[in-house]
Structure 1
């Protein structure tokens, strides 16, 4: 029972400024909002993972503090009183504002991230050597590169951007650049008079570094075929052949002097520029394949992913210093 000298639990017109202790606790307000919305202590209890009696006691606690009933208890039914309707509007507004503010604060502290998937060769030979330029201009962005020849489902893998390698005629997304090819090798292979490497026909005395042939690669006319056809050597048989599942491994073998690989421009342009690889013959061939940028729907809400796509295109359009430049799509 309240005495005349007892301090009111909630503010009244006579108490003046609201004190922190005079406001209902947040858990009580959540219970009231759920009960007012469902007009059922039982449904509110299920929603809040409480018992029906616990919700009923919490509502009684608010009513005792305010000194007015908030609900009309009818037979198997509840109805808001006028005071209950006033409080419901205020509580709903306050909880919505609190949810919005919490979401904004949480978003501001979340990790900025761009997730990319592409082939292992493109990642190691073209993307990674340039990636420092992007990260330098975008401090605080966590760049995640999934280097795989598997076509990942962007939504399931939580990927923002994919760089796909496929036939030009089958390209999807935004075209990045078309590929041109010609043989490349380590400089030391050029100095052996017993095994010259001056004309394409001299390849018969050397080890050919090539990719594993799969039905998909054969359909793409992959690896050496475009260049050999242009040179008039479609049936060339070399001394040995080393085959790899990853293009970057074939190029690593070429740098180590283990044979001659087909150089894909612009992927190997940096190695040609640095002198770790040389092109022993003239004549380039368009492989009829290219790289295409696919942007996942999730990237629409990620400004860093959109910046990454713009950066990719700017890098692709930059001049290739060494070797024959690729034909850039318009």
Structure 2
């Protein structure tokens, strides 16, 4: 039978539903039509084919031998169409990727750039996972992360993004400009995880700057850089923090860097679970971070 002689699709749909459900009423419910409409389509199919496809009685509906052969072909054809359509729709749907990083990195750096990221890679549904500890990465779970350290990291595929420096910053309201101004300022300390080694504390910075006579142990202490930087923005003192995390606050004038002395930091890396590094969605996210963090001028 040529394609021009294929039975009408509506008649085949009605026939497939009746054969599958062995009921005109159930087939009508599946297709959201009336049993009368189903009966009409079956009569149309049988007239078109010139043979009976169903044996009907008051209590049952059964396939004729010819109807059984037709049903097997129709069911296989509809099944294949359904599988291909589902695959095509799945290919068009955004891929979901879960990325983990610290509260500080997500809050200070990534969240302000999420709209830009989504416009650049709209085909990926990025889910953020916040953790200040190192999470295990695995396909189908948390698959990628931004990690801070020297790298490379064991058990994952590591891609360098940018180097970092640690610098003292404060609110412009404090009016600091000279090193001696620190004699009368609160020194804010960060005691959380994800700090470079050796830790860039105030004793190291004062030694680098040649500044003596300051009690580098005094001042408020915070468990992570997110809280410490917020305290500095509020004018509560001076904090030494990551230049990457401070970039937006410095650009907005919420913070200033009154002193030129800096301490070496570690580096930011994109890491992913072993086995997913070549996947298109992971590669796209990795390339976006390489471009966005590279633009900080720290690479």
TM bracket (short chain): 0.5 to 0.7
Who is 1:279 aligned against?
Answer: 257
Q: Is the CA contact 1:174–1:294 (under 8 Å) kept in the aligned structure 2? A: yes
Whether 1:256 aligns to 2:234 is yes
Asked whether the equivalents of residues 103 and 130 of structure 2 are also in contact (C-alpha less than 8 Å), the reply is yes
Aligned-partner Cα distance in 2 for 1:253–1:267 = 14
- Per-residue CA shift, 1:109-142, capped at 9, x if unaligned? 6454343211111112222222222223344754
Gap change, CA 1:109 and 1:311, over 3 Å in 2: closer
> Is the CA contact (8 Å cut-off) linking 1:161 and 1:299 kept in structure 2?
no
SS at match of 2:189: strand
1:209–1:243 CA contact under 8 A, matched in 2: yes
Q: Do the aligned partners of residues 106 and 26 (structure 1) sit closer, same or farther apart at CA in structure 2, a change above 3 Å counting? A: farther
Q: Give the RMSD, CA atoms, in angstroms.
A: 3.9
Residue of structure 2 in register with 1:209 after alignment: 188
Structure 1 residues 256 and 231, CA gap change in structure 2 (3 angstroms) = same
**Superposition TM-score, scaled by structure 1 size:** 0.61
Larger radius of gyration: 1
For 2:292, which of 297, 315, 318 is the aligned residue?
A: 315
Instruction: Indicate whether 1:198 and 2:178 are aligned.
Output: yes
Q: Do residues 266 (structure 1) and 244 (structure 2) align? A: yes
Find out whether 1:65 has 2:50 as its counterpart.
no
Q: Distance in 2 between matches of 1:150 and 1:235?
A: 36
* Structure 1 unaligned blocks of 5 or more: 1-15, 29-60, 71-82, 192-196
From 151, 154, 158, the counterpart of 2:134:
151
What whole-Å deviation, never above 9, does each CA across 1:129-176 have from its counterpart, x for those lacking one?
Answer: 222222233447543222321222333773343101112575861001
Deviation of 1:264 after TM superposition, in Å, equals: 1.3
Whether the 8 Å CA contact 2:98–2:127 is kept in 1: the answer is yes
Given that 2:137 and 2:143 are in contact with CA atoms closer than 8 Å, whether structure 1 keeps it comes out as: yes
Alignment length, in residue pairs? 249
Question: How far apart in 2 are the matches of 1:266 and 1:115?
Answer: 22
Give secondary structure in 2 for the equivalent of 1:268.
Answer: helix
Consecutive unaligned residues of structure 2, counting only runs of 5 or more, are: 1-5, 23-59
Task: Note if contact 1:181-1:227 (Cα within 8 Å) is conserved in structure 2.
Answer: no
Provide the C-alpha distance between the structure 1 equivalents of 2:105 and 2:130, rounded to a whole number of angstroms. Answer: 8
What is the Cα deviation at residue 233 of structure 1? 6.3
- Pairing of 1:9-20 with structure 2 (within 5 A): 17=7, 19-20=11-12
Alpha carbons 1:207, 1:239 under 8 Å: kept: no
Would the alpha carbon gap of residues 168 and 298 (structure 1) be closer, same or farther in structure 2, given more than 3 Å must change? closer
SS of the equivalent of 2:221 reads strand
Q: Is 1:166–1:291's contact at 8 Å kept on the other side of the alignment?
A: yes
Q: In structure 2, what is the Cα distance between the partners aligned to 1:132 and 1:64?
A: 57
Alignment of 1:157-306 (within 5 A): 158-168=141-151, 173-190=158-175, 198-199=178-179, 202-212=181-191, 217=195, 220-224=197-201, 227-231=205-209, 237-238=215-216, 240-287=218-265, 289-296=266-273, 297-298=275-276, 300-301=278-279, 303=281, 305-306=282-283
Q: Deviations over 1:223-258 (max 9, x none)?
A: 426534533569952473212222121111111110
Structure 1 residues 146 and 234, CA gap change in structure 2 (3 angstroms): farther
